[in-house]
């Protein structure tokens, strides 16, 4: 005859408890009703017996004649009928093999050609917005000539204080705002949105604006500014696009990948 020992902290109302049989798996019992007195004829023993019997545990259940909580039940004897219960235990671990599923398993990496096209198109868009007003008004040519005559390259930047330069600055700000909204919404620049690709974390989760801006762009740009080393880094960065996951070095730094949107 098996003996089942109730946990030392006893039976507490509203909680599930386990009666342990030596050499066997745990047997779930409970929950104990919140209100013992009103639920089972005003006695603690009837409430406890109901909980054990519901779980298929029958036999001698020593219950102290008290209404105080928690109730300490030293032992329970003779467990019957539990194996014949038809109700499945919702708290039992799964019996089938459960494989881990990565959130990125259903994503398709963007092609190398689409990534190259997006990079070129983004450069064309921002370049056109900045330089078109300067070229059409002749302000760009005048600024370059002035810088060459004076021998001071810094004079070139004075072009952005002219009317055409101010228009260029406003267009650049508009581009930056739109790009920020696209990146925040779905990890896309204007060109990436047009081509249908986006930047995500390597596990397929959303990449934040901070991760894309600081780790993927700013850190990458700062490294390329280092004399000699920057040139070598830029070359290696591009060659990494031919890896299996098509991750350039700036992708690895930011823990990102580019996928079809």
Supply the pTM of this predicted model.
0.59
Question: Over 50: is that where the pLDDT of 30 sits?
Answer: no
pLDDT over 70 for what percent of the chain? 60
pLDDT in tens, 233-246: 999 999 999 999 99
Q: What is the pLDDT of residue 154?
A: 87
Query: Got the DSSP string for 134-180?
Result: HHHTTHHHHHHHHHHHHT-GGGGGGGGGSHHHHHHHHHHHHHHHHHH
pLDDT in tens, 130-177: 999 999 999 999 999 999 998 888 889 999 999 999 999 999 999 999
Question: Over 60: is that where the pLDDT of 48 sits?
Answer: no
- Quick one: pLDDT band at residue 7, thresholds 50, 70, 90? very low
Q: Where are the domains of the chain?
A: 1-89, 112-260
CA pair distance 147, 143, nearest whole angstrom? 6
Mean pLDDT value across residues 190-216? 96
CA pair distance 171, 157, nearest whole angstrom? 17
Mean pLDDT value across residues 91-111? 68
Contacts of 46 (CB under 8 A, 6+ apart): 40
- Upstream peptide bond of 31 is cis (omega within 30 degrees of 0): yes
pLDDT in tens, 60-77: 444 444 444 444 444 444
Q: What is the pLDDT of residue 26?
A: 41
Pairwise pLDDT comparison (32 vs 124), residue with the higher score: 124
Q: Is 4 helix (H, G, I), strand (E, B) or coil?
A: strand
CA pair distance 183, 185, nearest whole angstrom? 5
**For 41-50, 59-68, 98-107, 231-240, which range has the lowest pLDDT when averaged over its residues?**
59-68
**For 99-108, 113-122, 173-182, which range has the lowest pLDDT when averaged over its residues?**
99-108
């Amino acid at each position: 005859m098996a003996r089942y020992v109730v946990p030392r902290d006893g039976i507490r109302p509203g909680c599930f408890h386990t009666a342990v049989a030596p050499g066997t798996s745990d047997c779930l019992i409970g929950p104990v009703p919140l209100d013992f007195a009103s639920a089972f004829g005003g006695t603690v023993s009837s409430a406890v017996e109901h909980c054990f019997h519901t779980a298929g545990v029958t036999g001698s259940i020593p219950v102290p004649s008290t209404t105080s909580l928690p109730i300490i039940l030293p032992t329970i004897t003779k467990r019957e009928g539990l194996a014949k219960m038809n109700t499945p235990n919702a708290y039992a671990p799964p019996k089938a093999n459960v494989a881990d599923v990565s959130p990125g398993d259903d994503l398709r990496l963007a092609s190398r050609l689409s990534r190259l096209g997006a990079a070129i198109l983004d450069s064309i868009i921002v370049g056109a917005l900045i330089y078109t007003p300067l070229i059409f008004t002749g302000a760009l040519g005048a600024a370059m000539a002035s810088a060459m005559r004076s021998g001071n390259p810094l004079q070139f930047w004075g072009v952005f204080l002219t009317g055409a330069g101010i228009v260029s600055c406003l267009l650049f700000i508009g581009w930056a705002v739109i790009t920020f909204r696209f990146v925040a919404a779905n990890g896309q620049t204007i060109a990436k949105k047009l081509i249908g690709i986006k930047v995500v974390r390597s596990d397929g989760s959303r990449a934040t604006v901070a991760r894309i801006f600081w780790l993927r762009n700013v850190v990458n740009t700062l490294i390329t500014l280092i004399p000699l080393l920057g040139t070598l880094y830029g070359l290696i960065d591009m060659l990494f696009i031919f890896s299996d996951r098509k991750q350039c070095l700036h992708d690895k730094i930011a823990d990102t990948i580019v996928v079809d949107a």
